[in-house]
């Protein structure tokens, strides 16, 4: 299982990569493995203001539907439209082409999230 | 691994989709040893089974099998079963694992007054289903018994990798293949031999997506103690010209809802989701999934009869949003 050290993480298995004041959000390698083959993704509306911890997207595998939560507060800037045709990108490249959405955030809010080592401990205790 | 009717069973060995596609394209196998098996024996076995099941057992010759159901007194279904005639006065009934106790009690009560002996043999059989377009060819290499020229629903004894086995050309995937009953202590050797022959092991996840593509019911979902089989695509099982337990109640009931297949766009339908017609609720999903072959959402739903015609446009409510759905013929995927 892969836990890139440059990313921030949530206990609910999202990752965040900061690019300026834009946060790129996806689900972790651990999460995609637990879900199994992803077959459908419900993405948020661009322009929507979201609270930290609110359910903003849904990733569905053959097995189950799983809510995706906003790691921090902000505004949805962009969604990964490639996922509507190729949801399997989430399984193939969870930290790359399988990203879910981008948010405009206050970078200071990321301090409350988990480091790679902290997240790895959370994931491996499950 | 998940607990299932008292057994620990895998949802998947590698991935539901790849296991599913292995069965559709080549060959896969399922350990379905959790299924229950009852022997029904004696001079009154035929008469008893005619009374206790819906299909016509008189048509069942030795060495043949049929799909059937156990009716209750109210026109509902105690269980759906497979019945194998193994001898002149000997039948093997395969029942759902979750229903073994219920079925056993039910059959014991019905058997009073018949010249019949029931034996619960569930612990004496392991069951491996080998399914897919290459299933018969792969199995044939592991036995001297002729498998290739047998017909669907044939059943017979033979040796598989040197172990005595009951073969049945049956299954729950919509593909060709065999279900093989073996002694539990010999099952691991058979499983290993099949693995070595290149058969893909498949879990409960693929078992469910395959049976749904094939349009088969799953007890507890499409069939229950309160569903009437005449309101389903499996109404052909009911043979009204014979007498059976609860016949009048079953034949008299009107269908308030009918079971239909739905093809769904823009989301994965799941059990319990509401079905909308003209904006109001007209039914409910009993099973739903993503079809790996069609790459679309498929489901089985009970809907009001006026919305049940093939081609009817409906909607399925997925997380508060209405996803377009169309009533289609089942099976969703034909061999």
B52 shares its domain with B180: yes
- What whole-number distance in Å separates Cα of residue B27 and Cα of residue B39? 30
Per-residue burial over A43-76, b = 16 or more CB atoms within 10 Å of its CB, e = otherwise: bbeeeeebeeeeebbbbbbbbebbebbbbbebeb
B148 shares its domain with B27: yes
With contact defined as beta carbons under 8 Å apart, do A79 and A101 qualify? yes
B55 belongs to a structural domain = yes
User: At a CB cut-off of 8 Å and minimum separation 6, what does B255 contact?
Assistant: B228, B230, B231, B305
Chain B residues closer than 8 Å to A36 by CB: 11-12, 15-17, 205
Instruction: Please report the residues numbered 1 through 40 in chain A whose beta carbons come closer than 8 angstroms to any beta carbon of chain B.
Output: 36-37, 39-40
- Is residue B331 reached through a cis peptide bond, with omega within 30 degrees of 0 on the bond before it? yes
B243 belongs to a structural domain = no
B262 shares its domain with B177: no
- What whole-number distance in Å separates Cα of residue B160 and Cα of residue B245? 39
- What whole-number distance in Å separates Cα of residue B168 and Cα of residue B314? 39
pLDDT value at residue B5: 83
Q: How far is A36 from chain B (nearest CA, A)?
A: 6
The CATH number of the domain holding residue B319 is 2.40.30.110
- What whole-number distance in Å separates Cα of residue B322 and Cα of residue B105? 44
pLDDT cut 70: percent of chain B above it = 100
By C-alpha distance, which of A9, A22, A27, A19 is closest to A75?
Answer: A22
By C-alpha distance, which of B63, B27, B55 is closest to B167?
Answer: B63
B191 shares its domain with B285: no
pLDDT value at residue B89: 98
Q: How far is B203 from chain A (nearest CA, A)?
A: 12
Q: Does B12 touch chain A if contact means CB atoms closer than 8 Å?
A: yes
Chain A residues closer than 8 Å to B17 by CB: 36-37, 39, 62
Check A36 against B205: CB less than 8 A apart.
yes
pLDDT value at residue B185: 97
Residue B45: how many other CB atoms lie within 10 Å? 24
pLDDT digits (tens, 9 = 90+) for B98-128: 999 999 999 999 999 999 999 999 999 999 9
Mean pLDDT by 10 residues, chain A (126 residues): 96 96 97 95 96 96 94 98 96 98 96 96 92
B295 shares its domain with B193: no
Domain, as residue range, for B288: 256-335
B202 shares its domain with B332: no
B168 shares its domain with B281: no
B223 belongs to a structural domain = no
The CATH number of the domain holding residue B10 is 3.30.1360.120
CB pairs under 8 A between A and B: 38
B265 shares its domain with B159: no
Q: What is the CA radius of gyration of chain B?
A: 20
ipTM associated with this complex: 0.83
With contact defined as beta carbons under 8 Å apart, do B159 and B143 qualify? yes
pLDDT digits (tens, 9 = 90+) for B129-150: 999 999 999 999 999 999 999 9
The domains of chain A, with CATH numbers, are 8-106 (2.40.50.100)
Mean pLDDT, chain B, integer? 97
Q: What is the mean pLDDT of the segment spanning B29-34?
A: 97
B227 belongs to a structural domain = no
pLDDT value at residue B125: 97
B217 belongs to a structural domain = no
Length of chain A measured in residues: 126
B140 shares its domain with B260: no
B245 belongs to a structural domain = no
Tally of structural domains, chain B? 2
The full DSSP string for B257-296 is: SEEEEEEESSS---TT-EEEETTEEEEEEEEEEEETTTTE
pLDDT digits (tens, 9 = 90+) for B295-314: 999 999 999 999 999 999 99
B239 belongs to a structural domain = no
Per-residue burial over B194-230, b = 16 or more CB atoms within 10 Å of its CB, e = otherwise: beebebbbbbbbbbbbbbbbbbbbbbebbbeeebbbb
B114 shares its domain with B179: yes
B27 shares its domain with B161: yes
Check B209 against A58: CB less than 8 A apart.
no
B9 shares its domain with B145: yes
B236 belongs to a structural domain = no
pLDDT digits (tens, 9 = 90+) for B226-274: 999 999 999 999 999 999 999 999 999 999 999 999 999 989 999 999 9
Chain B residues closer than 8 Å to A60 by CB: 267-268, 290
* End residue of a domain, out of B156, B188, B211: B211
Q: Quickly state the pLDDT bin for B335 (edges 50, 70, 90).
A: confident
With contact defined as beta carbons under 8 Å apart, do B195 and B202 qualify? no
């Amino acid at each position: 299982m892969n836990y890139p050290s440059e990313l921030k993480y949530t206990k609910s298995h999202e990752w965040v990569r900061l690019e300026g004041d834009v946060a790129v959000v996806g689900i972790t390698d651990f999460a995609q493995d637990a879900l199994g083959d992803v077959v459908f993704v419900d993405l948020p509306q661009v322009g929507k203001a979201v609270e930290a911890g609110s359910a903003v997207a849904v990733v569905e595998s053959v097995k189950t539907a799983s809510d995706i939560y906003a790691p921090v507060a902000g505004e949805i800037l962009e969604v990964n439209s490639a996922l509507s045709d190729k949801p399997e990108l989430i399984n193939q490249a969870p930290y790359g082409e399988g990203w879910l959405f981008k948010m405009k955030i206050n970078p200071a809010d990321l301090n409350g999230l988990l480091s790679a080592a902290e997240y790895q401990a959370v994931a491996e205790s499950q | 691994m998940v607990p299932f009717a008292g057994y620990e069973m895998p949802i998947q060995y590698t991935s539901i989709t790849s296991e599913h596609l292995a069965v559709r394209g080549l060959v896969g196998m399922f350990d379905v040893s959790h299924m229950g098996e009852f022997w029904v024996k004696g001079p009154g076995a035929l008469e008893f089974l005619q009374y206790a099941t819906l299909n016509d057992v008189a048509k069942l010759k030795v060495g043949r099998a049929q799909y059937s159901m156990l009716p209750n007194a109210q026109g509902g279904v105690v269980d759906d079963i497979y019945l194998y005639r193994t001898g002149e006065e000997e039948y093997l009934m395969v029942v759902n694992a979750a229903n073994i106790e219920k079925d056993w009690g039910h059959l014991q009560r019905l058997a009073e007054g018949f010249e019949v002996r029931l034996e619960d043999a569930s612990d004496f059989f392991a069951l491996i289903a080998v399914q897919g377009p290459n299933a018969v060819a792969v199995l044939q290499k592991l036995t001297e018994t002729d498998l290739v020229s047998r017909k669907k629903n044939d059943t017979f004894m033979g040796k598989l990798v040197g172990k005595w086995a009951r073969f049945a050309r049956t299954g729950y995937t919509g593909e060709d293949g065999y279900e093989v009953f073996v002694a539990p202590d010999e099952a691991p050797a058979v499983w290993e031999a099949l693995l070595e022959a290149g058969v893909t092991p498949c879990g409960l996840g693929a078992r469910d997506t395959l049976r749904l593509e094939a349009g088969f019911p799953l007890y507890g979902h499409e069939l229950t103690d309160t569903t009437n089989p005449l309101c389903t695509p499996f109404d052909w099982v009911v043979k009204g010209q014979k007498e059976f337990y609860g016949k009048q109640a079953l034949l008299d009931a009107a269908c308030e809802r009918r079971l239909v297949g739905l093809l769904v766009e823009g989301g994965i339908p799941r059990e319990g989701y509401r079905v909308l017609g003209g904006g109001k609720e007209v039914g409910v999903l009993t099973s739903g999934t993503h079809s790996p072959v069609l790459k679309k959402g498929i489901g089985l739903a009970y809907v009001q009869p006026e919305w049940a015609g093939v081609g009817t446009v409906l909607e399925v409510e997925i997380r508060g949003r209405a996803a377009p759905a169309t009533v289609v013929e089942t099976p969703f995927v034909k061999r």
